[in-house]
Amino acid sequence: MHDINRELTPAGRTIAMLALIVAGEAVFFLPFVLPRVFRPTLLDVFDVTNLQLGIAFSVYGVVAMLAYFPGGPLADRFSTRKMMSFALVATSIGGFALATIPSLAGLQVLYGFWGVTTILLFWAPLIRATREWGGTKLPGRAFGILDGGRGLVAAAIGSGAVALFSFFMPSEVQNATLEQRTVAFRQVIFLFAGITFAAAIFVWFALPRSKESSDDSQSKYEPGGVVRVLRMPTVWLQAIVVVCAYVGYKGLDDVSLYAHEVLDYDEVQAAKVGTLSMWVRPFAAIAAGLLADRFGVARLTMLSLLVFGIGSAAIAAGAFRPGETVFFFATLIATSAAVFALRGLYFAMMEAGRVPFGDTGSAVGIVSVIGYTPDVFMGPLMGVLLDRWPGELGHQYVFAVLTLAATVGLMASILFWRIVHRPI
């Protein structure tokens, strides 16, 4: 295995992981963090329905599905540093286009463009570099630190963005005109685009150049790796777990709108609820990664899916009413923790599933093609459920879907655990 750790000092190793963390979240600020935290405002400013926004997500998802598989072999063949830096610059340019408040068609084209920049050029290099950083002994820690760190970056920037948005809004938020909301929202878009561009510069200088000239044959892409990976049942089960966990992640996009429509929070309060969910992520993912290296990735995955299912079922059952703050926040924190723990675990499953390092990109491509299909269907599905059944009922249906996903994922993780604990 090409070993990044032999080429870096301890300080360089820390800086390299920090670059992966910042870049790994910054690249998704514009397409995903923005609508997650500011969904009610985005719908008003762009004058779109939940379904129309969901279709834009779906365009992204379709492009991403086409990009995941070729992106895997590209990551095994070309420079991580160059691919990630270029992807970040291109994504930030899309952000400045978003600030012009394009039409619905323009918004959909932009999401398709981001599907190329964030997936074809970025995703597999990020996962390969992280697996390389963790090596064979600390896969859980590597991916836990990556996703936990990404969560910390998202929560910090998200909170800053909410503060910036609040600064540009009038003191009486409910009385803000569309023009005032648009001006405030545009500042948030500029903030996210600027940070994404800065992340590109950080990656360019922080990641080692050595892989570009590496002669290590085990680090190079081999066509036979695709066939080897396709024959591994653990890879297919890992893909199912990723699908189910990602349904949960996409479902959390509904949290701020749920707080606004069901619990009567205003737009700023609803954005803070969405940000609270994000603050859970760093602690959950890092803790899950550390515990996984000690107790096993499969065990922690099963536990996380169980908690995710219970929390989703509580919301689906209509357990909350305005004013029931403590119970709601306890459930939100537990459910968010389980979902974000899964994000810190599901690529660490690759080491437990005994995927050869030289086939990492191919495995990432295959798992991602299947695992991230919620990018295609969850946006439109949530849009249909929320628009057709306005109010609490639509949100209950959304979380019923999440409950079903958690149940399927739990069954797949149990099978994965049985296979990896079977004698070789």
- Counted residue by residue, the chain has a size of 424
d(Cα 206, Cα 306) in Å, to the nearest integer? 38
Q: Is there a domain that residue 233 lies in?
A: yes
Q: What is the pLDDT of residue 214?
A: 42
- How does 170-183 read in b/e, with b if 16+ C-beta sit within 10 Å? eeebeebeeeebee
Tell the burial category of 266 from Cβ atoms under 10 Å away from its Cβ (0-12, 13-18, 19+): middle
Q: What is the pLDDT of residue 349?
A: 82
Within a 10 A sphere around the Cβ of 278, how many other Cβ atoms?
Answer: 26
CATH number at residue 372: 1.20.1250.20
d(Cα 74, Cα 70) in Å, to the nearest integer? 6
Q: What is the pLDDT of residue 286?
A: 85
Within a 10 A sphere around the Cβ of 270, how many other Cβ atoms?
Answer: 24
| CA of residue 273 relative to chain centroid, distance | 18
Q: What is the pLDDT of residue 138?
A: 65
Q: Is there a domain that residue 218 lies in?
A: no
Give me the average pLDDT of each 10-residue run along the chain (424 residues): 58 90 93 85 89 88 86 78 94 95 94 94 88 72 84 83 83 75 89 94 85 44 66 88 93 83 77 78 85 84 94 86 76 89 83 72 82 84 88 88 96 90 68
Q: Is there a domain that residue 215 lies in?
A: no
Q: Extract long-range pairs of 157-161: CB within 8 Å, 24+ residues apart.
A: 157/25, 157/29, 157/33, 157/191, 157/192, 157/195, 158/33, 158/37, 158/274, 158/275, 158/278, 159/275, 159/279, 160/191, 161/37, 161/38, 161/188, 161/191, 161/192
Q: What is the pLDDT of residue 218?
A: 46
CA 372, 239, 24 angle in degrees (round to 5)? 50
Assess contact for 392 and 383: CB atoms under 8 A. Answer: no
d(Cα 240, Cα 249) in Å, to the nearest integer? 14
pTM of model > 0.75: no
Q: What is the pLDDT of residue 357?
A: 73
Q: Is there a domain that residue 356 lies in?
A: yes
The count of structural domains within the chain is 1
d(Cα 312, Cα 408) in Å, to the nearest integer? 14
Assess contact for 110 and 160: CB atoms under 8 A. Answer: no
Q: What is the pLDDT of residue 270?
A: 79
Q: Is there a domain that residue 242 lies in?
A: yes
d(Cα 210, Cα 347) in Å, to the nearest integer? 24
Tell the burial category of 21 from Cβ atoms under 10 Å away from its Cβ (0-12, 13-18, 19+): buried
d(Cα 339, Cα 248) in Å, to the nearest integer? 6
Range of the domain at 156: 8-209+223-420
